[in-house]
């Protein structure tokens, strides 16, 4: 069996875990999905991803729980505990405090995104490295002029969640959930190639009404009308950069287009934690133009 086939089978087990975070997950079931014996499966999984299946499920559950605590106020801690696979809220609270040093309620009342970022760095790896295609289905579309409400994020990408939290607070106050108002991200530079203190992006939603002065500093902006190369990407955040790299690199060099003087942007169609990470859908837009004749 070649390495690609093994990886694909293990990735199927990852997807099963992500789809069943609220239920007990048996090792024997994962091994069957991966066409392996439980003995070999555990070792193959850890060799591939650096985590045991139980550690992987634990990390996914707590990533989702942290986002739910911070951004889903209608969900009680008990509901979040059950959703994370705990039979009792007390067990969830004990495990959360042991892992992060604070209780779920303390995190909800004052989200510490440094904890989140440290947690991300300690093993929430991309489970599907081989399912990202080497090329993507690119459409040429005319994106219309779109008025948005935007909050600027200036500084380290590690602090994005704090900015997102402020924006969600503003959206709630203005009754603009993602189901009613499209969500956009505008990127003015590359987080992988920019000093952390110079990183700049906007987090936006469609908004046509005047925006009153607000404590979150959300302001009116416009995404200009433009011809764009568009890719619809389904998968976790880690794959989005690769899709954008494909547009800037291989696709652009063969397309006959030049880049327009506008930054790339994403439209978040649906996203984690409302569904598993590998089912998140993002439309990627790269503004382009016909070559200027010399």
- DSSP string across 262-277: S--EEEEEE-TTSS-G
Which SS3 state, helix, strand or coil, does residue 238 take? helix
Number of structural domains found in the chain: 2
Q: Are residues 116 and 147 in the same domain?
A: no
pLDDT value of position 130: 41
Confidence grade of residue 200 (pLDDT, cut at 50, 70, 90): very high
User: Residue 174: is its pLDDT beyond 70?
Assistant: yes
Q: Are residues 162 and 247 in the same domain?
A: yes
Q: Does residue 132 belong to any structural domain of this protein?
A: no
Residue where the block lists tokens 């002065």: 213
3-state SS track over 45-73: HHHHHCCCHHHHHHHHHHHHHHHHHHHCC
- Considering only 3-7, 32-36, 179-183, which range has the smallest mean pLDDT? 3-7
Q: Does residue 227 belong to any structural domain of this protein?
A: yes
User: Residue 124: is its pLDDT beyond 70?
Assistant: no
Mark out the alpha helices in the chain (DSSP H runs). Answer: 3-19, 27-33, 38-49, 53-71, 77-83, 89-100, 104-109, 113-121, 160-173, 237-246, 252-255
User: Residue 64: is its pLDDT beyond 70?
Assistant: yes
pLDDT value of position 39: 64
> Which residues constitute the domain of residue 30?
3-121
Q: Are residues 14 and 146 in the same domain?
A: no
Q: Which helix (H) or strand (E) is 85 found in, with range? A: none
Angle among Cα 235, 236, 241 to the nearest 5 degrees reads 95
Q: What are phi and psi of 213, to 5 degrees?
A: -55, 135
State both tokens at 259. 């880049």
pLDDT digits (tens, 9 = 90+) for 262-288: 999 999 999 888 888 888 999 999 999
pLDDT digits (tens, 9 = 90+) for 68-119: 998 888 899 999 998 888 888 899 999 889 888 899 999 999 888 777 777 7
Phi-psi region of 101 (alpha: psi -120 to 50; beta: other; left: phi over 0): left
Average pLDDT value for residue range 220-229:
96
pLDDT value of position 87: 84
| CATH code at position 53 | 1.10.10.60
- Considering only 70-74, 79-83, 123-127, 175-179, which range has the smallest mean pLDDT? 123-127
The DSSP-derived string for 93-126 is HHHHHHHHSS-HHHHHHS--HHHHHHHHHTT---
Phi-psi region of 86 (alpha: psi -120 to 50; beta: other; left: phi over 0): beta
pLDDT value of position 170: 96
Phi-psi region of 85 (alpha: psi -120 to 50; beta: other; left: phi over 0): left
Q: Are residues 165 and 112 in the same domain?
A: no
Q: Does residue 126 belong to any structural domain of this protein?
A: no
Q: How far apart are CA 90 and CA 80, in angstroms?
A: 12
**Mean pLDDT of the chain, nearest integer:** 86
Buried b (16+ CB within 10 A) or exposed e, 81-110: bbbbbbeebeebbebbeeebeeebebbbee
Q: Does residue 91 belong to any structural domain of this protein?
A: yes
């Amino acid at each position: 069996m070649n390495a690609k086939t093994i990886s694909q089978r293990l990735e199927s087990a990852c997807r099963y875990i992500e789809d069943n975070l609220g239920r007990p997950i048996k090792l024997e079931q994962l091994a069957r999905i991966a066409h392996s014996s439980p003995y070999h499966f555990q070792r193959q999984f850890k060799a591939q991803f650096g985590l045991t299946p139980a550690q992987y499920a634990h990390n996914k559950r707590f990533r989702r729980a942290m986002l739910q605590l911070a951004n889903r106020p209608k969900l009680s801690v008990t509901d979040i505990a059950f959703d994370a696979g705990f039979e009792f809220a007390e067990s969830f609270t004990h495990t959360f405090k042991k892992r992060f040093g604070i209780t779920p309620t303390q995190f909800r009342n004052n989200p510490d995104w440094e904890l989140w970022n440290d947690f991300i760095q300690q093993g929430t790896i991309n489970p599907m490295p081989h399912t990202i295609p080497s090329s993507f289905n690119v459409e040429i579309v005319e994106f219309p002029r779109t008025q948005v409400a935007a909050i600027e994020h200036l500084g380290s990408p590690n602090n994005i969640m704090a900015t997102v939290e402020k924006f969600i607070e503003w959206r709630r106050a203005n009754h603009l959930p993602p189901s009613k108002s499209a969500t956009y991200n505008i990127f003015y530079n590359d987080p992988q190639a920019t000093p952390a203190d110079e990183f700049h992006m906007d987090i936006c939603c469609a908004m046509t009404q005047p925006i009153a002065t607000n404590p979150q500093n959300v302001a009116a902006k416009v995404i200009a009308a433009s011809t764009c190369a568009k890719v619809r990407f389904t998968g976790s955040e880690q794959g989005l950069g690769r899709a954008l790299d494909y547009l800037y690199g291989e696709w652009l060099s063969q397309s006959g287009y030049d880049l327009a003087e506008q930054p790339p942007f994403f439209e978040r169609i649906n996203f984690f934690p409302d569904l598993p990470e590998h089912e998140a859908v993002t439309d990627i837009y790269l503004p382009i133009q016909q070559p200027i004749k010399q």
